[in-house]
Structure 1
Amino acid sequence: MINDSIENSSIKFRQEIGKLTNIYLEQDTFSHDINLLKVTALNAFIRDHVLHQQNSTKGGAPNKTSVSILNQYIDRIRKLLSTKDVYQGCTLEHFQMIVSLLQSIMIYYNCFLLQLPLFNVSIDLLKQIENNTVTTIETATGSGKSTLLPALLIAEGYDKVIVTQPRRLPCSMISQRVNSMVKEDLTGWAISGAEKNVRAKILYVTDGLLKERLLNDENLITQNTKLNKSVIFFIDEVHERSINIDLCLALFARLLKLNPDFKTKMKLIISSATLDSSVPDLYRNIPGCTLSVFNLTSISTRFPISVNRVAGENILDLVQQ
């Protein structure tokens, strides 16, 4: 080909070289070696960024259960890289796919560092969410429902997680907290009249704003919505049972009942420190809608909680104090 290119200037040698290169790659002569190098590089990344540091967390030595859970997440990432077809090969696209695996590892690791109680049961919880359309979660305050769980869902590959809060201020504060936790701009927030980074994978919104979207936005989720994995709607602090929360719950029940195809495109998480039985009952009789009730009210919180009772005091005086 070199001689032909010299003798005949009309030959587009760059295209010919490209064709020959592609033929060579298709013969799979060294793909196996490339895949082994990927695995070696991944193990080196895990060793340098996770394993060498996992014995020291902000709260001291990590508990054994959390270490075991983290190792299970890491082993699963290793298995994905070694066995899943989308990661096998030596094209640019194959290498770009690895970035998402590295991001997932760091999310898992940063969630582990917090040592929040929910992390210890997160694999079982995530499995229930994956296998069901609606999942209700009842755990103690401070266990990590609002912060840790949305981040883990993104690490699991879900396209978008929309989390509601009953008030405006927590939307921005929790968003900042999660970004600080995972050390990247993973979240955004939106309230009536203000928003930030709304295209982020995790979006914190007021339940009133989500209610308006459910009522007025026909394109919030449709049969034509293309997803790698489901969109998750996460209704948090349901124990407050405001009008907006109850309307969101009812609108989602109606949406799932009228649009059976949406069950493959969305999942609903209902979270609360205390959950009335009427909430999961709302979804039990929807045809084709599977429901999981995840109840861990006995789960411990990271910090001790003490109750101080003051008898005979005026409530207004106590508030001022």
Structure 2
Amino acid sequence: MSRKQRINLINFSFLDHKAELRALFRAKGRREPCCLVESETDFWQFIGKYEAMMRATGQPELPQLLSSKELSSPQPYHRTKHLAMELDEEQMLQEARGEMEAQFRQLILIYLDFRQKEKFQRIRKLRQAQRSLPIARFRCDLREALDNSRVLIVAGDTGCGKSTQVPQFLYDFGYRSIACTQPRRLACVSLSKRVAHELLDDYGSRVGFQIRFEKSRTQHTNITFITEGLLLRQLAVGANLDQYDALILDEIHERNLFGDFLLGVTKCLLRARPQLKLILMSATINVQLFHNYFQEDGARLVQVPGRLFPIKLRYVPPPALELIAGQSGSSTKHQSGRLDPAPFVQVLSLIDQQYPTSERGDVLIFVSGVNEIESVVAAVEEYATKQQHWIVLPLHSGLALAEQDKVFDYAQEGSRKCIVSTNIAETSLTVDGVRFVIDSGKVKEMSYDAAVKGQRLKEFWVSKSSAEQRKGRAGRTGPGVCFRLYSQAQFDTFEPYPAPEIHRMPLDTMLLQMISMGLPNVRDFPFIEAPKSEQVEQTILALKQHVNKTGLDKYLCRSIFDYSAVSGKARKA
């Protein structure tokens, strides 16, 4: 094809000349191979659609290319004059040897311009979403509170955006070394990815995470999402955490053993480091308790309303489900003691009957532990062989990160995800697209069993605050429905907040950790809710009987603490 002959897409397609045109993807003047397009497959799909559009609009003949002088003149109008993308011909573009290659070079520019505008549009939507979050209206309040106080308590309802936005606010305020603790490793990874994306730093190092056996943090990282256990480990090694100028303790309502210990340590740390800023965050926090605890440090409180869509609440204990579904009676537990998955399948059947798949919406099921997840997943997968639009996914802290990430993928149109989870999905992470929540009302917690003189996981009813958190997961992205597999009367008997783990667990591992950190005076440690003095004295006496304190070095304490971190992971599974 000669240079002056015009290309007509009626009898020509660039797709037929892929082999000879592929060389034009390589940038000129580079020692290492550099491709102008990120994905050749995506580029050729774009070319096919572009050619089809030109034919459909009655413009199959590609316009003649303009010279550099013509491109610099605003008149007459030509669409190539309005491309936002420009490449240095001498440095980037291969020389065109004919009309086809010249037009193809132009199409590369059109493609790059299209993708750039697409990215700008996504960024615009991202910024609009950030501005629409309830916490965005409190940005100035947060800054004023931090300027005038060392301790800030953020009581933000579910969906307000505190976990992703507050670290970014601190970065914008000038803090350059921020640690944000999370009770679970999955939350650290998912939040670091999200915050990095919002800061347009997906492939950079400004945002990182640090969990057990894995980290993406570097010496240039400004925002680090870290588990509570690893921050305590850093405290044991680095004394005053001089590497951080701001600490964010997120999800402090969970009240696990080392979470309460970390609160006491940070209270001591505030006296050693007057410039340190401490931010406490939770959705179901006992505001009065935490505010009184840090009152002498001048704690300021900022309450942020949530952004919840309307949620329809339905109490459907198993007998009621059987009446609705018209099935014979069954109990919540099998005779073997294992969880009976039938009520969960019955609720899925109700959802299929009352909400067609054309109305998008995934299901999130809360059960107490891994064994219960396996029972429900097996039953739902059997049900899904008949109703083939269900995608069944387990979610617990013992899964590999790649398996956990599957719950964040969007289901195809006409399909629904059914995510069966422990309380890991209650506060630690948010799965978009959930419209239905099925709450068993149960949770497994570590407690001391006097019969075996050791710790074991036991099943308990959740607290009212946890039940409300679970319900709130149905109203994050649109109106939802929460099915509670217990009665209103049972709910009314629930405790308002979870019982602190420090009141029902042996204190030996925590006391050993305190000794390793140079905090030997256990009796005067500032616990937010101190254990009974008898419990402390019994633990000290037991340690004296079984451990020779002169041989208790820091290595042993770290080993004990590592064991407690592993048992804590099992506890939250």
TM-score by length of 2: 0.33
Deviation of 1:280 after TM superposition, in Å, equals 2.5
Q: Measure, in 2, the Cα distance between the counterparts of 1:273 and 1:219.
A: 28
CA contact (8 A) 1:235 1:271 kept: yes
Q: How does 1:97-246 map to 2 (within 5 A)?
A: 110=127, 113=130, 115-184=132-201, 185=204, 186-199=206-219, 200-218=221-239, 220-221=241-242, 231-246=245-260
Aligned residue for 2:268?
254
One-letter identity of the residue aligned with 2:225: Y
Counterparts of residues 8-47 of structure 1 (less than 5 Å): none
**Corresponding residue of 2:274:** 263
- Contact 1:160 1:232 (C-alpha < 8 Å) held by counterparts: yes
What is the aligned partner in structure 2 of residue 300 from structure 1?
A: 306
The alignment covers a number of residue pairs equal to 202
Q: Distance in 2 between matches of 1:198 and 1:130?
A: 28
- CA apart distance, 1:182: 1.9
Larger Rg: 2
| Cα separation, 2, equivalents of 1:183 and 1:117 | 22
Cα pair 1:161 1:231 within 8 Å, conserved: yes
Please tell me whether the aligned partners of residues 156 and 306 of structure 2 are also in contact (alpha carbons under 8 angstroms): no
- Picking from 276, 292, 301, the partner of 1:281 is 292
Name the CA shift for 1:304/1:250 in 2 (closer, same or farther; >3 Å).
same
Say which of 306, 309, 315 aligns to 1:309.
315
| 1:255-282 Cα shifts (integer Å, max 9, x gaps) | 223x2xx122x10000011222222222
How far 1:243 moved relative to its partner? 1.2
Contact 1:238 1:272 in 2 (8 A): yes
Aligned residue identity for 2:135: L
Residues 249, 280 of structure 2: 8 Å contact kept: yes
Once superposed, what is the RMSD of the aligned Cα atoms? 2.6
Code of the residue aligned with 1:291 in structure 2: it is: A
Deviation at 1:215, TM superposition (A): 2.9
**Larger % of helix: which?**
1
> 1:139 Cα shift?
1.1
* 8 Å contact kept, 1:115–1:302: no
Structure with the bigger RCO (C-alpha within 8 Å, sep 6+) is: 1
Identity %: 29
Q: Residue 161 of structure 1 contacts residue 201 of structure 1 at CA under 8 Å; is this kept in 2? A: yes
Alpha carbons of structure 1 residues 269 and 113: separation in structure 2 relative to 1, 3 Å: closer
SS in 2 for 1:158: coil
Instruction: Give the Cα separation in 1 of the matches to 2:166 and 2:312.
Output: 26
Q: Following TM superposition, by how much is the alpha carbon of 1:290 offset from its aligned partner in structure 2, in angstroms?
A: 2.1
Aligned-pair distance for 1:113?
4.0
Q: 1:126 to 1:306 in 2, by over 3 A?
A: farther
Retained in 2: the 8 A contact 1:135–1:292? yes
Which amino acid is the alignment partner of residue 211 of structure 1?
L
Distance in structure 2 (CA, Å) of the matches to 1:281 and 1:134: 12
Aligned partner of 1:217: which letter?
G
**Cα distance in 2, alignment partners of residues 251 and 300 from structure 1:** 30
Change (3 A) 1:219 1:283: closer
State the TM-score, normalizing by the size of structure 1: 0.57
Q: Aligned-pair distance for 1:219? A: 5.4
- Alignment deviations for residues 230-273 of structure 1 (CA, whole Å, 9 cap, x no partner): 8110000011111121111000111223x2xx122x10000011
Mapped to 1, the partners of 2:193 and 2:310 lie a distance apart of 25
Superposition map of 1:46-85 within 5 A? 58=125
- Give the distance between the partners of 1:110 and 1:144, measured in 2 at CA: 13
Give yes or no for contact 2:158–2:308 (8 Å, CA) kept in 1. no
Which whole-Å CA distance do the structure 1 matches of 2:148 and 2:311 have between them?
34
Q: Is the 8 A contact 1:237 1:273 kept in 2?
A: yes
Q: Secondary structure at the match of 1:147?
A: helix
Task: Provide closer, same or farther for how the CA distance between residues 309 and 166 of structure 1 changes in structure 2, counting only shifts above 3 A.
Answer: same
1:111–1:269 Cα change, 3 Å: farther
> What secondary structure is seen at the aligned counterpart in 1 of 2:294?
helix
Contact 2:130 2:136 in 1 (8 A): no
**How far does residue 144 in structure 1 lie from its aligned partner after superposition?**
0.9
Rounded Cα–Cα distance in structure 1 between residues aligned with 2:144 and 2:261? 28
Q: Partner letter of residue 310 of structure 1?
A: V
